[in-house]
Amino acid sequence: MGFIGQVLPAVIVLGVLIFIHELGHFLACRFTGVRVDKFSIGFGPEIFSFQGRETRYVISLIPLGGFVKPSGESPEDIPSNGLRPYDFLAQGPGKKFIIAVAGVLMNFVLAYVIFSGIFMVGNPVLKSTVGGFVDGYPAQSSGLRAGDLIREVNGAAVSTWNELTGRIMELGNVPLLLTVERDGSFLTLQVLPKVEEVTDAFGKKRALARIGILPGKAYRIEKYGPAEALVKGGETVLTFTGLTFKAIGYLVTGKLSLKALTGPIGIVAVTSETAKRGLVHIFQLMALLSVSLAVFNLLPFPPLDGGLMVFILIEAVRRKALSFRFQEAVAKAGFALLLLLMVAVMYNDLVQIGFFGKIYQWFQKAG
């Protein structure tokens, strides 16, 4: 796969997420009677633009964000004769809050629609098939073979890879009786797991039981009726929202390293690999990223949407807006910190893909 083939899936996925987010702000402005001067997808040099009746629509070169610029968003935008009814600053806290939160809500709605749709049309899940073995683990000498389909673990039925690994971890350091289907016949094998102390995705150490098997490539399709799919879609969004907030909490308290974060370069790599597995997997990734984008923008940190919401709530409580100079100074400081975070995350991405090692080797050869 060439460079364009690797980057294009990420550009499409990020482009959709950004468009949906900014569309939320745009529609909220329309709903509250606020005029929109500019609707931009991307930053930097403009690739394409056209002027609508009130709004200028723009697609820019760098697809790492976007913005909606309401009319009368800052004092500099206000004409000498004062605020106009359609200016952002002319609105009360209620309408301002609707505009601020709308982008986040649209990302949650997108994730919900995608997850629910996948559960309706068919969600591909890995079967409990043995694809291979990890050297030095007990499964290698247990009599299991690649291609075996594990049907039961200590009497409990399993049919997916997640059910299989979850059951093994739940039982811990006890002998496992595996009911295996092989070439149409059933047999029972015994394996004693190897228990190790590992650090999970949230930086917590815990005991983990493993037998050392790798998943096969066989999938089964899980389909649900519309009502159940809608419920499961909501449950999935709530689950990943909770996990994202939990991860952010661990980052803030130092329990999770910044190295666990993935930036634009990492997203390109992940999206490229996901695209090879099929369209459904791309949509699953898009939904996950949409939840992450929504949660990230909810953080009470200017210049994110959550920071603007905090300013609006303060305005509602004190019945007077904070000075624009103060808001602008806080937003600039926040933007600088976000840039530093982005640099750190992109550095992690480059380390993960071995960029600096490749540069070093290139200099060695050049010398």
CA atoms within 13 A on the CB side of 251: 14
H or E stretch covering 178: strand 176-182
Q: Rounded to whole angstroms, how far apart are CA atoms 350 and 265?
A: 7
* Residue indicated by tokens 């100074």: 329
Taking CA atoms, 274 is separated from 132, 136, 283, 354, in Å, by 21, 30, 10, 20
170 included as an active-site residue:
no
Whether the upstream peptide bond of residue 79 has omega within 30° of 0, thus cis, is no
Contact partners, residue 311, CB within 8 Å, separation at least 6: 302, 321, 322, 327
Taking CA atoms, 42 is separated from 21, 30, 218, 261, in Å, by 12, 21, 39, 22
Contact 49, 66 (CB under 8 A): no
Tokens of 79: 């004409």
Burial of 12 (0-12, 13-18, 19+ CB in 10 A): middle
Annotated catalytic residue within 22, 73, 222, 235: 22
Q: How far is CA 144 from the centre of its chain?
A: 36
**Residues carrying an active site annotation:** 22
